[in-house]
Amino acid sequence: MTSPRTLLKIWNLHPKKQFGQNFLSEPSTSKMIISRSNISPDDIILEIGAGLGALTIPAAGVAKQVYALDKDHQLIALLKTELLAQNLLNIELMEQDILKFDFQAFVNKKNINQKLVVMGNLPYNISSQVLVQLIQSRKHVTRAVLMFQKELALRIMANPGVKDYGRITAMLKYCSDIKPLATIKAPMFFPKPKVDSEVVEICFKETPEYPADDEAFLFKVIKAAFGKRRKTLKNALSGSELAISADTSIKALEQAEIDPVRRAETLTIREFVNLSHTLSANILK
């Protein structure tokens, strides 16, 4: 693996801050991530942000097929040349913005009849959006192995009752199991970021432990509850986009056996699901 600094210099390119480009520069780190990801020869990988191929190339050495996305056309051209030199035939590069990516259209076009394994080193500024997208598209994704800034990784793994527990955490806990795979120190990247990173595995459940009657509405309730997280649930819900009165909020919370003066970060997934059911019933009345 040619160092990122050398490759970029040869191509007269520079890391683009607006794309959050920090490239893994130590081959042993890339191999460790792939090893801990437990990729099998039957897996089809969708990689978010191929970059210079630090994960793309070792993943292709194990998986059946790798579809590697990147929105930077200059990096796509560079990586295509690298892949040709290594004669890697099971990688398809796609110039694509993940936030505009349609999972359903993709699996139909490629005639893929199995769930994907998603991988990627996610820029901080789009991490939450990508996670919501994966949750909504999880019928096509069995699991995701993603690298985040350490603080965000800790947030998405948080449990109810702590400050880090938030909207994305609750949505993920509803439909997945999450575990840490590795901590990657900042000096392992070029350019060196200000903080360390964490690799996290998100395994999507076939069926949630506490399935909601209306999943889209559940996620609206979670968003509303955390919209004004310093307020009590009674006030957060009644002042939200759900457009419900304080009386309706209190009634639904009491029917769900939730104290109206509690705050969103104290609720378990089961309580959020129960609240979505009682809110739906009260709104429809």
Write down the pTM of the prediction: 0.94
Instruction: Tell whether residue 121 is among the known ligand binding residues.
Output: yes
CA nearest to 223, candidates 278, 168, 151, 284: 168
Residues 172, 142 within the same domain: yes
Looking at the predicted structure, is the pLDDT value of residue 14 above 90?
no
Would residue 279 count as lying in a domain? yes
120 carries a ligand binding annotation: no
Let me know whether 69 and 195 are in one domain.
yes
* Domain end point (choices 170, 204, 238): 204
Q: Is the CB of residue 172 less than 8 Å from the CB of residue 181?
A: no
pLDDT band at residue 87 under the 50/70/90 scheme? confident
Q: Give pLDDT, residue 100.
A: 96
pLDDT at 86 (0 to 100): 86
210 occurs within a structural domain: no
Out of 204, 226, 245, pick the residue that ends a domain: 204
Mean pLDDT, rounded, for 59-84: 94
In a shared domain, residues 145 and 200: yes
Shared-domain flag, residues 221 and 155: no
88 belongs to an annotated ligand binding site: no
Same domain membership, residue 148 and residue 88: yes
Q: Does 285 score more than 70 pLDDT?
A: no
pLDDT digits (tens, 9 = 90+) for 168-195: 999 999 999 999 999 999 999 998 999 9
38 belongs to an annotated ligand binding site: no
- Give CA–CA dist 231/208, Å, rounded: 28
Report whether 70 belongs to an annotated binding site: yes
Q: Which of 169, 204, 239 lies at the terminal end of a domain, its last residue? A: 204
Contacts 24+ apart (CB under 8 A), 213-220: 213/276, 213/277, 213/280, 214/276, 214/280, 217/276, 217/279, 217/280, 218/174, 218/272, 218/273, 218/276, 219/171
Is 172 found in the same domain as 276?
Answer: no
Asked if residue 133 is part of any domain, the answer here is: yes
Q: Are residues 108 and 73 in the same domain?
A: yes
Length reported for the chain: 285
| Number of domains observed in the structure of the chain | 2
Higher-confidence residue: 228 or 219? 219
With respect to residue 194, please indicate whether it lies within any of the assigned structural domains: yes
The CATH number of whichever domain residue 238 belongs to comes to: 1.10.8.100
- Strand (E) or helix (H) holding 189: strand 189-190
Task: Provide the pLDDT for residue 59.
Answer: 96
Say what the pLDDT of residue 123 is: 87
* Residues 106-130, mean pLDDT to the nearest whole number: 95
What's the pLDDT band for 273 if we cut at 50, 70, 90? very high
The answer to whether the CB of 12 falls within 8 A of the CB of 78 is no
Q: What is the pLDDT of residue 212?
A: 97
pLDDT tens-digit series, residues 131-176: 999 999 999 999 999 999 999 999 999 999 999 999 999 999 999 9
Would you say residue 5 has pLDDT above 80?
A: yes
Residue numbers of the domain that contains 231: 215-284
Same domain, 125 and 229: no
Domain membership of residue 125 (yes or no) is: yes
Instruction: Find residue 147's DSSP bridge partners.
Output: 121, 199
Say what percent of the chain tops pLDDT 90. 82
Q: Are residues 268 and 166 in the same domain?
A: no
- Give the whole-angstrom CA distance, residue 228 versus residue 38: 39
Output the pLDDT for position 1: 65
Which residue type is seen at 169?
Answer: T
- Across the range 83-110, mean pLDDT stands at 94
CATH classification at residue 177: 3.40.50.150
**Confidence band (pLDDT; 50, 70, 90) for 15?**
confident
Same domain, residue pair 9 and 88: yes
Tell whether 72 is in a known binding site. Answer: no
**pLDDT of 227 over the 80 cut:** yes
- 78 lies in some domain: yes
CA 238 to CA 258: how far, in whole Å? Answer: 15
H runs (alpha helix) in 176-245: 215-227, 233-238
pLDDT surpassing 90 at residue 7: no
